[in-house]
Amino acid sequence: MQKGKTKMKAVKACSAWNAKWPVDTRVTVRLDSGEMRETVTRTAAEVLSGHSAVIWLEGISGCYLLDRVSPVSSITEVAR
């Protein structure tokens, strides 16, 4: 994928996330170990280094790719 298309995809992902989910949203994140952990967002989603949609989470060092983070309410809705 071209650099411009990659950045645009990340920008769109962040915009969609931020339009729906505010800072302090309760989420589940899939850690590098595969463990699922519940936490809350500390920031809005952002594009990191011009190519990756990421978000910063409470109690977790560094940021995580947005596609590894799910709002708890959306997980609850699926479980119903």
- Give pLDDT tens digits for 36-64: 999 999 999 999 999 999 999 999 999 99
- Dmax over CA atoms of the chain, in Å, equals 40
41 burial (CB, 10 Å; 0-12 / 13-18 / 19+) is: buried
Mean pLDDT of the chain: 90
The predicted model gives 9-20 an average pLDDT of 97
The predicted model gives 12-40 an average pLDDT of 97
Paired strand residues for 38: 28
Token pair in block for residue 76: 């609850």
CATH of domain 3-79: 2.30.30.30
- Residue 9 CA to residue 52 CA, distance in Å, equals 9
- Residue 13 CA to residue 63 CA, distance in Å, equals 15
